[in-house]
Structure 1
Amino acid sequence: MATGALAGESSPPGRTRTVLVIDTATDTVVTGIGRITTTDGAPECRVSATRVVADGRRHAEILTSLIAEVLEESGVGRDGIDAVVVGTGPGPFTGLRVGMATGAGFGDALDIPVFGVCSLDAIAHDVGRVSAPGATVLALTDARRREVYWALYRDGGHTRTRGPEVSAPGVVAEVLSDSGVDAVGGSAAHLRQSGWGGDDPAITVPSVAGLLGAAAIAVTGGQSVPPLLPLYLRRPDAVERKDQQHKKVGAS
C-alpha cells in the first residue's frame, strides 16, 4: 500500500483534503467523496457525493461503477484525490476484500495513503452525531452463522471500550443489560435478536460521513499510515468447511 506524500505531514489551517471513501463490510456497498478541512486545529468533514447500494452479491460488479459516479458528481478527477478511507470490517471475507483491494489499488496507482477504519467505528460515529452528548453506543452487524459483529463505545461513539468481537446474540444481550447502552446502530433485526428493546436504529450501515469522521484525525494528523489490515475475526467459510471435512476423514 502506498503511503504517499501525506504520510508524516499534518494539515495546516485551512488545508482541504479530498478523500475517496469505500466500505463493503456489510451487504451494502458504500462509496463517496468527502473533504476534510482543518480549521482551528480540528478537522471538519463534508460529503460531496455518496452512493449506497444494498446488494450483497454484487460488490465486485458495482463498486467501480459507483466510484466513477461519485467522482463525476463531485467534479473530482482521480488525480484530485489526496487519500483513501476504507472500511476494514469486521465483515464476511468475500465482500470485505472487494472494498479493501479496491482502496489499496487506488492508493498504489495514485501514490496516496490509504487509511483503514473499523466499520463499526464508522457506525458508532454516526450514531453519536444523532444521540445525546456522551452517549454509550453499541454498534452491531450481521456476522451470519447465527452470530453478530459488535463493539461498545463511550463518549457518544468516539471511544471504543470493547470489541470488535464476533459472538452469539446472547453474549450481546448480557452486554446490553450490564453496560447502560443509550443508543445503537446497525442491523435492526439482529439488534432485536440480541435483546435491544428500544427504537430501531437510525443508522444501519457505515456511511460516507461516518467513515470520514472516524478517519479524520488520522488523515490530517501527520502520523505514519499503519498497514491496511482486514478485521475478519474468523476464517472464511470455505476454509472452515475444508477443515471440517478433514476432521471427518481423520475420524473414520
Structure 2
Amino acid sequence: MLLLALDTATPAVTVALHDGDHVVAESHEVDARRHGELLLPSVDRVLREAGARPADLTEIVVGVGPGPYTGLRVGLVTATTLAAALTVPVRGVSTLDALAWATGLDEPFVVATDARRKEVFWARYADARTRDGEVRVDRPADIAEEVAGLPAAGAGAHLYPDAFPGLRTGLPEHVSAAALAELAVARAADGGEFVPARPVYLRRPDAKVPANYKVVTPK
C-alpha cells in the first residue's frame, strides 16, 4: 500500500505518503497564493524522498474542504486527474476532520478555519475522531455562545480569539496531509465511510455572471 494524501483547502499546500503503517514522506508549505505553483512539485518531492514513483501509488486521499474556491479546486483537480491517470481510487475527507484528528484531543472541542469575508468554516467535535454535527460557515460573533468554553484549534480561531476564548496555541493552525493520511488509514481500517472527491464550498463563489450587460453588435 502507498497512499498519497494532499490538501489545498487552507493556505497550506500539504502532501504526504503513507505506507499503511506510518507516514514515509511529507511536504508542508503555507502560501495562500501559490497552491497551483507548489502542489505538483510537492508531490514529486515526497515521491523522490520515499524512493517511489507515481505508478507505485495504490490510492489517493484528498481534502474536500470547505475552503476558498480557487485553492480548493487545485487539490481536487490534481487528485482526481492523478487517480484517473493511474487507475487508482480517490477518496475524499473533510479538511476540518483531518485538522481535528491532528489535535489528538479526547474531549469536546471546536475547529475553525478562515472562510474570508470575516467568516469562519467550523465544526464541533466530541473527540479527535468524532464530528458532532455538520460543518458550517458563520460570522465568529454569531457563534460565540456556541463555542464558549470549548478548546479551539485552527487558523479561524487564531484570527478571532475574542469569539474563541478556548483557543489553544499548541494545537494545529492548518491541516497537514500527514494527519489526513493517518485519518484515512484509520477510517478505512474501521470500515468507515469516505465522501466523494468533490469540493465543499458551503456558499456561492464570489465571481458572478454580469446581469443586464450591454450587447454590442456591429453596425
Check whether the contact 2:17–2:181 (CA below 8 A) recurs between aligned residues. no
Residue 42 (structure 2) aligns with: 66
Q: Deviations over 1:71-99 (max 9, x none)?
A: 00011111111110100000001000000
Q: CA deviation at 1:173?
A: 1.0
Q: Take 1:197 and 1:191, find their aligned partners in 2: how far apart are those partners? A: 11
Q: Take 1:141 and 1:167, find their aligned partners in 2: how far apart are those partners? A: 11
Higher helix share: 1
Distance 1:30 1:147, change over 3 A: same
Which of 152, 155, 160 is the equivalent residue of 1:184?
Answer: 152
Whether 2:9 is the aligned partner of 1:25: answer yes
Q: What is the one-letter code of the residue matched to 2:129?
A: H
Tell me how many residue pairs correspond in the alignment: 213
RMSD of aligned C-alpha atoms?
Answer: 2.3
Q: What is the one-letter code of the residue matched to 2:19?
A: R
Q: CA deviation at 1:218?
A: 4.5
Q: Take 2:101 and 2:160, find their aligned partners in 1: how far apart are those partners? A: 18
Q: CA deviation at 1:161?
A: 0.8
Q: Secondary structure at the match of 1:230?
A: coil
Whether 2:79 is the aligned partner of 1:103: answer yes
What are structure 1's unaligned runs of at least 5 residues? 1-16, 38-45
Distance 1:176 1:225, change over 3 A: closer
Which of 172, 180, 186 is the equivalent residue of 1:203?
Answer: 172
Pairing of 1:1-252 with structure 2 (within 5 A): 17-37=1-21, 46-127=22-103, 129=104, 131=105, 134-154=106-126, 156-177=127-148, 180-181=149-150, 183-187=151-155, 188-220=157-189, 227-239=196-208, 242=209, 246=211
Q: CA deviation at 1:223?
A: 7.9
Check whether the contact 1:47–1:208 (CA below 8 A) recurs between aligned residues. no
Q: CA deviation at 1:195?
A: 2.9
TM-score (norm 2): 0.88
Q: Deviations over 1:119-147 (max 9, x none)?
A: 000010111x2x3xx31121110000000
Residue 9 (structure 1) aligns with: none
Distance 1:196 1:223, change over 3 A: closer
TM-score (norm 1): 0.77
